[in-house]
Chain A
Amino acid sequence: MIPGGPRRESRRIRRKTAAPETADRLALGHGRCGCRSLEPRRSSRARRLAARLRQGVRHGIAGAAIAGLCAALLGPLASAQQPLVVGSKTFAESYILAEIMAQLLEAEGYEVDRRFGFGGTLVTFEALQAGAIDVYPEYSGTMQHTILSSGADFGSEAFAAEVESLGLDTLQTFGLNNSYALTVRGATAQRLGLATISDLVDHPELRFGVSHEFHERSDGWPGISEAYGLPQTSFGIEHGLAYRAMLEGDLDVTDAYLTDGDLIRYDFVILEDDLSFFPSYFALPLVRQTMQPQVKAILNRLGGTLSDARMRELNAEVSIERRTFADVAGEFLRERGLVADAADPRPTSTLAADLIDNTIVHLKLTGIAVAAACVLGVGLALAVHRSRPLSRGVLYATGLLQTIPSIALLALMIPLFGIGQVPAIIALFLYSLLPIVRNTITALITVDPLLKRVAAGMGLSQSEQLRHVHLPLALPHLLAGLRIAAVISIGTATLAAFIGAGGLGEPIVTGLALNDTTLILQGAIPAAGLALAAELGFELIERRFVPAHMMASRLPT
Chain B
Amino acid sequence: MHEIIEFLGVSKRFGDVSVFDRLDLDISTGRTTALVGASGSGKSTLLQMINGVLVPDGGRVEVFGSPLPEGRLAAFRRRIGYAVQGTGLFPHLRIDANIGLLGKLEGWSDAKLADRIVELTELMGLAPELTRRYPHELSGGQQQRVGICRAMLLRPEILLLDEPFSGVDPLTRDEIHERFAELMRAEPVTVVLVTHDLQEAMRLASELVVLDDGRVLQADAVRKVVERPATEGVARLFERLQ
Contacts and interface: CB of A to CB of B under 8 A. Distances in A.
B105 interface: yes
Nearest to B147: A454
Interface residues of A, number: 21
Contact of A460 (B74, B81, B160): B74
A450 B92 contact: no
Given A453-B53, A464-B74, A458 B90 contact: no
A549 interface: yes
Contacts of B102: 458-460
A339 B188 CA distance: 100
A469 B92 CA distance: 8
Interface string A417-457: 00000000000000000000000000000000011011111
A12 interface: no
A508 to B, nearest CB: 42
A459 B134 contact: no
A151 interface: no
A526 interface: no
B112 to A, nearest CB: 18
A453 B84 contact: yes
Contact of A453 (B73, B88, B101): B88
A25 B226 CA distance: 83
A458 B93 CA distance: 16
Contacts of A451: 88, 90
A454 B160 CA distance: 11
Nearest to B75: A459
B78 A459 contact: yes
Interface string B131-158: 0001010000000000000110000000
A473 interface: yes
Contact of A454 (B73, B78, B84, B93): B84
A262 B139 CA distance: 75
B91 A459 contact: no
A546 B232 CA distance: 56
B105 A460 contact: yes
A1 interface: no
A458 B91 contact: no
A475 B92 CA distance: 10
B182 to A, nearest CB: 23
Contacts of A459: 73-78, 80, 102
B206 interface: no
B58 interface: no
26 contacts: A450-B84, A451-B88, A453-B48, A453-B53, A453-B84, A453-B88, A454-B84, A456-B53, A456-B77, A457-B51, A457-B53, A457-B160, A458-B82, A459-B73, A459-B77, A459-B78, A459-B102, A460-B74, A468-B101, A469-B90, A472-B92, A472-B93, A473-B91, A475-B92, A549-B134, A550-B91
Interface residues of B, number: 27
A450 B85 CA distance: 9
B86 interface: yes
A553 interface: no
Contact of B92 (A454, A460, A550): A550
Interface of B: 48, 51, 53, 73-78, 80-82, 84, 86, 88, 90-93, 101-102, 105, 134, 136, 150-151, 160
A453 B85 CA distance: 12
Interface in A466-499: 468-469, 472-473, 475
Nearest to B84: A454
Contacts of A155: none
Nearest to A546: B92
Interface of A: 450-451, 453-461, 464, 468-469, 472-473, 475, 546-547, 549-550
A451 B82 CA distance: 12
Contact of B150 (A453, A456, A458, A464): A458
A456 B55 CA distance: 13
Contact of B105 (A453, A464, A550): A464
Nearest 9 A-B pairs (CB), nearest first? A459-B77, A454-B88, A459-B78, A461-B74, A457-B82, A472-B92, A457-B53, A458-B82, A459-B74
B122 to A, nearest CB: 22
A134 B81 CA distance: 73
B88 A450 contact: yes
A458 B84 CA distance: 11
Contacts of B84: 450, 453-454, 457
A300 B75 CA distance: 81
Nearest to B76: A459
Query: Which of A455, A457, A546, A547 is most buried by chain B, counting CB atoms within 10 A of its CB?
Result: A457
Query: Which of A458, A469, A549 is most buried by chain B, counting CB atoms within 10 A of its CB?
Result: A458
Contacts of A458: 77-78, 81-82, 101-102, 150-151
Nearest to A453: B53
Contacts of B86: 450
Contacts of A450: 84, 86, 88
Contacts of A547: 91-92, 134
Query: Which of A454, A472, A473 is most buried by chain B, counting CB atoms within 10 A of its CB?
Result: A454
Contacts of B134: 547, 549
Contacts of A456: 53, 77
A550 B53 CA distance: 28
Given A450-B84, A468-B101, A547-B92, A457 B74 contact: no
A456 B51 CA distance: 10
Given A453-B48, A457-B77, A547-B92, 9 more contacts: A450-B86, A450-B88, A451-B90, A453-B53, A454-B84, A459-B78, A472-B92, A473-B90, A547-B91
